[in-house]
Amino acid sequence: MVMLLNIIFFICTLALTKYCQSSILMKLFYWVALIVSLIGIVFLIFMSGWVAYTGGVITAGISLLGLLGIVYNLLKE
């Protein structure tokens, strides 16, 4: 489930690529969401047990915050 969340957040962030070229804040949210979701996916592939699950949940949460930051800035403009 956590792997699925990280993959969904990664794909959603990639879908918003063309909108994130406007300001530094948008680029920051974009790169945070993209990199952290990739870290979560790699973490879940190579680790096991509660460590992988905890790391996956934390990275999914940070990716979601980055994605919500992008959406908030798009709606604000």
Is residue 50 a part of any domain in this protein? yes
Domain count across the chain: 1
Is residue 36 a part of any domain in this protein? yes
Q: CA-CA distance, 34 to 63, in Å (whole number)? A: 7
What per-residue confidence (pLDDT) applies to 14?
86
Is residue 7 a part of any domain in this protein? no
Is residue 27 a part of any domain in this protein? yes
Report the Cα 60 to chain-centroid distance in Å: 6
Report the Cα 75 to chain-centroid distance in Å: 19
Q: CA-CA distance, 73 to 63, in Å (whole number)? A: 15
DSSP 8-state symbol, 19: G
What per-residue confidence (pLDDT) applies to 26?
83
Q: Can you read off the two tokens belonging to residue 59?
A: 């990275």
- pLDDT, one tens digit for every residue, the chain (77 residues): 888 888 888 888 888 888 877 788 888 888 888 899 998 888 888 988 888 889 889 999 999 888 888 888 888 87
Is residue 60 a part of any domain in this protein? yes
State which residues form the domain around 45: 17-76
Q: What is the pTM of this model?
A: 0.82
Is residue 4 a part of any domain in this protein? no
Is residue 8 a part of any domain in this protein? no
